[in-house]
Chain A
Amino acid sequence: MSSGVESFRQLSPSEFFYRNREIAGFSNPARAVYQTVREFIENSLDATEVHGILPVITLRISREDPSNPDHITIQVEDNGIGVPPQFIPDAFGRVLYSSKYKFRQTRGMYGLGAKMAILYAQLTTGKPFEIYSSTRKTRYIYYYKLMIDVKKNQPQILELASWEKRSKWHGTIVKLTIEGEWSRRVRDYVAVYIKRTAIITPYADITAILPSVEKEDEYEVLRFPRVTSMLPRPPKEAKPHPLGIDLEMLKMMINETGAKTVLSFLTSEFQRIGEVTATRILKNAGIDPDKPPRTLDDDELQRLYKAMREEKYWAPTDEPLSPIGEELIRIGLKEILRPEFIATASRKPSSYSGHPFIVEGGIAYGGELASRLDEIAQDSVKGETGPYIVLLRYANKIPLLYDEKTDVMWSIVDPSKFPWRSVYKLEPTDTVAVLIHICSTKVPYKGVGKESVANVEEVESEVRLLAQELARKLREYIQRKKRVQEARQKLSLFLRYIPEVAASLAAIAGNGRGTPDPSIQKELTEKMREIALAKIKLSEYEASA
């Protein structure tokens, strides 16, 4: 994105969301805290890395009103592209369309989640939302305090201010106060969310300042400094794939198109449709190719949609996807988990129902892994017998923390189903962390909570292949390590006996008195060490390990 400015358009009444806040994750005070943090952090990441900015993000959670300990204030600051001041009221005070509805991978649906948080704050504490923002082009910082008029779906500006910038600062600071719960469990979920985000964003500098669960007025600070300046490849906008749309979407696209004929509508608004394909589709649908698209009646639309679905196409382009990349996965796993071994893998782009997706991931083993597992992962290593598989799930770079057992990723790596022991030779005491990232223009979430990915055949198959590739690499490492260990043990056994044998032989070779000749003993010891080392060739094993 070169403009640095997102375009916003009105979506639908905020009231609808207000009444259905559960589906957006605001079902209870505990979940609301987690969900608010998540929405803001994701917005911040989208406002930075997608635009080539190395993110610096600070989360502050506090209790600012001693008389209302349930009032939790959440503030997130980023160094993103900022929101142009004229868009701020609508961006946060009105439920809008945004560029994120276009075909490219993003974390969230820009603004929608944040607006849910704002609405939730309004409902529970009645406190307004505050925002400071500055873009790269402006010399000013703008401040708004606003609320949403739910009925009218309109922003209500309570305060507005601006200052001239003294530095080149750009970015956004958002702050709101909700009625929430700050318990050990909520703190753990927020902390784990930050940690797991940090794993896949080693290019980000993230700080979280959280109230202590035990002591009032005390805070804990989670710091994740940047460890690399490498950014993942940004997603490119792409036209929709003909199989990736539904009838409603088709109607919407026809309403918006500037194409003069149905034929040019098909060739210009979709990927993978050329003149030949378009002509065939229209012939099959029985529609005149020169007909202006907006003159199609309902029946014709139905036929067009049907004919489009029956056509064969190239798989969708993966250009709108932004995988993390193996290198960053490796860096992140290494930095956060400090394991002894990491392997990464990335599957080729694939698609389901016209939606491109990529499955990638990493596997970590040994080292400090077991002691550095986060609070949620520690639950995975309980139980009678291993191997213990800690699954780090991500969808479009968002860590998924809830509903693990219903997720397609878990269904693959579940130790009761995946042959970790029999085929991949893990020991019952082993702990392994498996990171899997599914990125897509449309992640097939299970249900509205967006916390687990559904068992779509194409996705499941790619996840399985990824898991197999990762497990295979781990097995190779473990076996190599075992061989080295065995060789080392063997060598140390030989080395231990060498002085005995040398002394005995030196006694026989010696001066005829039975006492060992020191010079022969020394020579034999050295020579036998050489022979043993040459035989075992430990250096070769070590080089390959």
Chain B
Amino acid sequence: MAKDARILMTFPVTATSHRLDEARARGQYTALEKALKTMTPTEIGKEVTASGLQGRGGAAFSAGRKWSVIQLDDGQPHYLCANADEGEPGTFKDRWILENSPHQLIESMVIAAYALQVRHAFVYMRGEFSGPYERLQGALDEAYAAGLVGERILGTDFSCDILIYRGAGSYVCGEASALITSIEGKRGYPRNRPPRLTVKGLYQRPTVINNVETLSNIAWIVNHGSAAFKAIGTPKAPGTRLISISGHIARPGVYEIEYGYSWKRLIYDDCGGMLEGARLKCVIPGGISTKVLTGEEVEGLNLDPAEVEAAGSSMGSGGMVAIAEGTCMVRLLQVLLRFYHHESCGQCTPCREGMGWMHRIIDRIVAGQGRLEDLDRMIQISRLQDGNTICGMGDAAGYAVIGILAKYRHEFEHWIKNGSSMFEGNLECRRSS
């Protein structure tokens, strides 16, 4: 199988390819026409479920199942939020859609709003994304002018407004419940469940939050049907996936692959291998909250969620970081823990105290004052946070710690015993020669 199907990156990006006229030329908004004029909300929901579409933000939850909790005739407002917070380090693939194919997102959101009986939909975009904001807002202006969003869309009875809600600098607002608390004008504190957000979400109304990429698949699914979607990718993970790859890779960027695509091909063929021909040491598969896999492990795997999970990690947010030989994993973990400490919202005990604790431990190791027991202590802290916090950030930091220590404990032991790094504390790619 060629495994080169494309759903999102179906055209070369030019200075104008994001505009409405060119998007229409590519077939955008035919699905909207089909959905609003020939399908019922329930039918669309069924198609989405049948397609097997999974969330592409990191949690991989079935989109159709999430949608099915919404009771279409409960007489209360429903809300739809596209999660464009994209804060997971290493991840920049939703940005590709926002900047280069905003109409695919807009069209999909209007269809989703119709399927969920939503009158007001939001795109929660991280505050730092000024460029993507300009692009998406420009696209929305075009869509409004063309009657593709707003009142009585395409002359039907269905009306829907899409507003971009800009964040202001907080990683935790990428978590669905923190995201809606932020839209409510407050601190981005995640919420305990129950209630599920699809029961009580934004202002206590049923709310669906989907990742930008997840939503952007909806238009294609409506146009081509769920069976066609299922024919792409793998049986359990249908469709394609945007992968943003960075780090010590020769051609970093966003690539679209079918689920099941060869990991080796992506790194060495599509991305041109490692910088300066360096050897691949390890890969963070899908955002820093996924466990690191060695180069050998990665080269033997396909980018199939099931295979990656069997190998002990996860495809996560699609934010892949390729790390070359000669990189100090101690300093790398220090960067990650500094990040988690900085971003902890502070609401619940294990994360609030645990992140700072682990950060201080690793700073002490890097300063040459580490003890061997520190390593097991960090693992213990990680395990104690796991599943015991209000949101997944508590688990996430733990996976980073446990993953890196599982594979590179010797580097930490070296630093503790010798007071210095095996690689001079280096994080950059050294020339292979």
Partners in one complex: no
Residues of A within 8 A of B (CB): none
